[in-house]
Structure 1
């Protein structure tokens, strides 16, 4: 299990993991390199390629644990991580199932959802950051969560009140990331990987998603031969807490019980 754009595992992944563990499933929850409790310098560097490598490493480690059935590893990702599990699952080819929650599936769709002035500022800083990295300079940062017109990767009205409160009180968290990822996001379309996946896939879609628009995700889901979808009348950040969380985690446990049932 791993999180989304710039987030760390303490931002409610423990709540999901506890429910899965209560249902009898072992959970391996990790931070990507450069974030949270994981190593990696410089801090707050988000590389899509490196994060996918982290998924491959996590899968290999899970399979190496004696108490784990190596043939029944399931991938669970949310938001940006929801796109990662699609690509990681397609590349691996042997995972038992995949759960993608409010997944990022299209860089174009998510970029169009961004405030235009914010997008322009992120692009400008991204170019400076990328050029500077070639000369060994410190990263140029942009905010993860911000408001319209700010240089931030997410600027919808529900972002700041929805994303930042997921950080536990007193937990260290940095609301910024190296700007170069803004250039990479546009061309990233992990939803296409659904066409290649042969294991069962559950995609939990938020119909009012302002960060990872549901419309494009639904299109990708319909192309996935083994993909099922559950839709929720919620925003991108709503399903981490409250009644929406209770519903989505119950649906996910039900999916696990059906496709990777526990031994009698």
Structure 2
């Protein structure tokens, strides 16, 4: 199926490795030019060269800290300048797994919550806030936020709090921007195979879902590409789980 993405332009945060890198690759394979953002220039540069070579699309590495207002404003301005505009925003930058440990109320701390939320939730807000006027002016856009299935379970205070907040933020964006042709949706992965996943971690994750295997980062990236497509306009303000299925739970 042609997702009608050729010629679109995307900004993907947290894209030097892992799920973000897989997302940038999937979009580029669909004909999208991509600005990739992270905090390490060396890692970004290597990833940009790798993806450009693999896809033939323009991949622009941009250093940014999503925990800082000025850095995010500069990131969005530079991405628009480099690519001539942005049509798709994928928010993925976060502390992997959330600030740890926080399995019990005694372990959780306000400082950890604030630090983690500043990067992931407020960071997502910052990028959307900086880019929204540009998307609205163009009459079309896609915002896809990567959350996490900790939003639907207990066991890690900070991870649960931040990912629930991502869904709340996204629904607000969807309701406000939807009438202007801009949709916003959330994907909640669970443990996902990336370049750093160990066989032991894979086995543990596979034992906890209903498909009996770990989900690969490329599968999350495929879902992002579908939601980024002009064909996905009927989907707005939704939270989509992509963790291989949670046993014995009914979400409705």
Normalised-by-shorter TM-score class: 0.3 to 0.5
Q: Which has the higher helix share?
A: 2
TM-score normalized by structure 1? 0.42
More strand by share: 2
